[in-house]
Homo-oligomer: A and B are copies of this chain.
């Protein structure tokens, strides 16, 4: 397990680092947010520890950069702060941190929290096969039914109900809906949609997605359902769970 520490407090840095190394972790250190950002990308750590009070850029800015990269979503992040009110603690967690610790803390406690995180990460790897069986085919046959407002979709029977009435949609339209309904309130690019619904290695023009969305919308309109698939300008489309 590789841990990256981003902390400008060199003394604190050293204490933690030594302790973690002694416990068998692979430890890398950065003193500034800038270097930290580079290290995150090059070193590919499993866990990143960030001090919120960095000299050049705030820790939460680094966190936000990390969370912005899809490739880095899996890395776990623990934030530190020296003196913080509850608000900033909540904010830190809400903006994507996995844990938050108030300085000063003992290396032992840090290690305990790091280990707790690792246990979760292990579950991810254990379930990797589950997660990877994505996109095409297998995924769709599972699961029961999902319902949001007027829309109910049933995977097994491949049926779509609008306001309780059976509505007819083509297979691709169904798949798109199925995908969207399992990811409400997340905007996807056309490319992402293609990848998720069509499959990884299928080449289709991104604009094709527009057509299918259009057809789905038309069907919805017939049944008097409100626009459930919203276009997010500059991004793509999103299934919006009302309100």
Contact = CB atoms under 8 A, between A and B. Distances in A.
Interface stretch (A43-51, A180-188, A214-222): A180-188
Contacts of A119: 96, 98
How many chain copies does the complex carry? Answer: 2
Contacts of A109: 86, 89-90, 93
Nearest to A105: B86
A158 interface: yes
A143 to B, nearest CB: 3
A129 B128 contact: no
Nearest to A233: B171
A131 B135 contact: no
A146 B135 contact: yes
Given A157-B187, A182-B61, A184-B141, A126 B115 contact: no
Contacts of A76: 120
Contact of A184 (B90, B123, B139): B139
Contacts of A146: 91, 94-95, 131, 134-135
A113 B101 CA distance: 12
Given A93-B113, A158-B187, A134 B139 contact: no
Contacts of A27: none
A53 interface: no
A1 interface: no
A99 interface: yes
A207 interface: no
A15 interface: no
A105 to B, nearest CB: 8
A67 B234 CA distance: 32
A243 to B, nearest CB: 9
Interface string A94-121: 1111110000011011001101100110
- In the A-B complex, the 4 residue pairs with the smallest Cβ-Cβ separation, listed nearest first, are A131-B143, A171-B234, A126-B131, A93-B112
